[in-house]
Amino acid sequence: MLWIALHLPLLSLESFAATLPGAATRLPIALMDAHRIVSANAAAQALGVKPGLKCATALALAPQITLGQADAARDRQAITSLAHAALAFTPAVTLEPWADAPSAPHTVLLEVQASLRYFGGHIPLLRRLRAALAPLGHSVQCASAPTAQGAALLARMPQVCEGRHAGDLAVLSRQLELAPVWLLGAGRAHWEALQGMGLHSLRELRRLPRAGLVRRFGAALLDELDRALGARPDPRPWVTLPQAFSSRLELFARADTTEQVLHGAALLLARLVAWASAQHAQVRRFTLQMQHEARHRHDAQTPADSTLEIALAEPSCDAAHLLVLLRERLARLQLAAPTLELQLHCSDIAQRAAPNSELFPTTRSEREGLTRLIERLQARLGGEQVQRLSCVEDHRPERASELRPADAAAPGVQTRRPQPPLPALTAQRPVWLLPQAQPLPERQSRPLLDGRLLQLLCGPERIEAGWWDSALAERDYFIAQAGDGALVWIYRARLPLSASAPGWFLQGRFG
């Protein structure tokens, strides 16, 4: 077996920083619990703010510091998203809790022995795994070992080397000798007593008699060490995916503009993509709900929240594309009140095979580009404003097509039955038709355009239709060449209204 451990040493701080505006993340930030600092970023530590200080002391050292409340539920949402991203590489994923905070795990464990061949080995797998985790915005320490607990300890060791790897139990045992005792759960609980006895590393702990350690510190201390070294079984529950995606983000400061909303929504979309990728699926529809601040609502008619539903014509798992669609929709939305909380929901996904890489563009890739263009135009202008020409079963050219919404899957548009393919004869018809047929003057029964005779090249194509709706059309169509070389589409009315009525009409022009 081979386990990969992904440890997030700054999980709590980074999950809180995600709720701040982009510029605020570069300023001093710290988390507090029970009026004491529990975590601080590099900018705050440079000013002397360290874990354990009182909040008043931290404010005295750094008056411009941003203080946030530690939140285990917020941390769990963040670590769950990393677990979802890891599920795209192996179904065997579990969480490793901190010793003193079992409700807020900070380490994700993957059993990847069966996945190595598919991804091309250990190093390529780690490279792709890091690329999948990068959009979530967390600092990750990686380590691998034959046991789950051993990999977790290696990943949490201070000054861990990039890609610390133990290929077998013997190498793992040597690498864990210098690990501090406080990495073990029971070792952290009894840290003061162990430090008083001069026990700082696991090597010093293993030299002592086991019976005496059990009597003084309990069996949990050695039990965790044995699981790390492979001397004791270590069964673990696997992470399972929910049927529907739901994630929330409480903003630290109210969002008054759509750009501030988009900053938080980008993280939620990254989590959505991780959830969909774990199922090898693509998103077909998602909903963003924005909770408004109650005291800034204009009146009783102001809604408590605003909801945006984004439907894609073609399922996608590209977070950048989803963000573009959301940006276009938000640009058309007037926020009823400042936003304090964002919630993203998705239950409509499509199970599809991953696209193949292409050296040259194909019909499918070109169609995907057109589909994304249509989606973006619909998000900006509205579904009904983007239209396409659709064929109608009618021989009369002016009634052979009609405008319909470009995407039948857009909200509020009913799905229509696909139209039958056009007959081969329509290849001789021009794309550009005049709104109304233009009468043409004649000279000796020959049509003229711009004062010059037209040369008939092809025809006639006879059309007799419309007796059922009082719009009878009896015409003979010709392709003609104008004096400047342009091709036009003209017809001759077989039944003119009167002797003086023109017999030739211009119907369209070829490109």
Instruction: Give per-residue pLDDT as tens, 337-348.
Output: 888 899 999 999
367-386: average pLDDT:
70
- Range with the lowest mean pLDDT among 17-21, 63-67, 363-367? 363-367
In the structure encoding, which two tokens stand for residue 41, read together?
């970023």
The single-letter DSSP state of residue 414 is -
Q: pLDDT band at residue 158, thresholds of 50, 70 and 90?
A: confident
What is the overall mean pLDDT for the chain?
Answer: 82
pLDDT digits (tens, 9 = 90+) for 171-180: 999 988 888 8
376-393: average pLDDT:
74
Residue 139, burial from CB neighbour count under 10 angstroms (0-12, 13-18, 19+): exposed
pLDDT digits (tens, 9 = 90+) for 76-94: 999 999 999 999 999 999 9
Please tell me the distance from the alpha carbon of residue 200 to that of residue 163, in angstroms, as a whole number.
24
Q: pLDDT band at residue 243, thresholds of 50, 70 and 90?
A: very high
Please tell me the distance from the alpha carbon of residue 241 to that of residue 84, in angstroms, as a whole number.
7
Q: Are 405 and 386 in contact (CB under 8 A)?
A: yes
Q: Are 455 and 481 in contact (CB under 8 A)?
A: yes
The CA-based diameter of the chain, rounded to the nearest angstrom, is 122
Q: Which sequence spans correspond to the domains of the chain?
A: 3-27+65-229, 248-353+366-379, 430-509
Cα dihedral 52, 55, 56, 59 sign: positive
The structural architecture, per CATH, of the domain 248-353+366-379 is 2-Layer Sandwich (3.30)
Q: What is the pLDDT of residue 325?
A: 87
Q: Are 151 and 145 in contact (CB under 8 A)?
A: yes
pLDDT digits (tens, 9 = 90+) for 179-232: 888 888 776 777 788 888 888 888 888 888 888 888 888 888 888 888 989 998
- Residue 479 forms beta bridges with which residues? 458, 489
pLDDT digits (tens, 9 = 90+) for 347-366: 999 886 655 555 555 555 55
Q: What is the pLDDT of residue 268?
A: 94
3-class secondary structure, 68: strand
Pairing of strands 164-165, 141-145: parallel
Q: Are 406 and 378 in contact (CB under 8 A)?
A: yes
In terms of C-beta distances under 8 Å and separation of at least 24 residues, what long-range contacts does 291-296 make, across chains too?
Answer: 291/339, 291/340, 291/341, 291/342, 291/343, 292/335, 292/336, 292/337, 292/338, 292/339, 292/340, 293/254, 293/337, 293/338, 293/339, 293/340, 296/254, 296/337, 296/338
Pairing of strands 29-33, 66-69: parallel
Ranked by mean pLDDT, the top range of 58-67, 296-305, 462-471 is 58-67
- The alpha carbon of residue 23 and the mean position of all alpha carbons in its chain are separated, in whole angstroms, by 23
Please tell me the distance from the alpha carbon of residue 128 to that of residue 124, in angstroms, as a whole number.
6
- Give me the half-sphere count of Cα atoms (radius 13 Å) on the Cβ side of residue 145: 28
- Range with the lowest mean pLDDT among 172-181, 375-384, 393-402, 408-417? 408-417
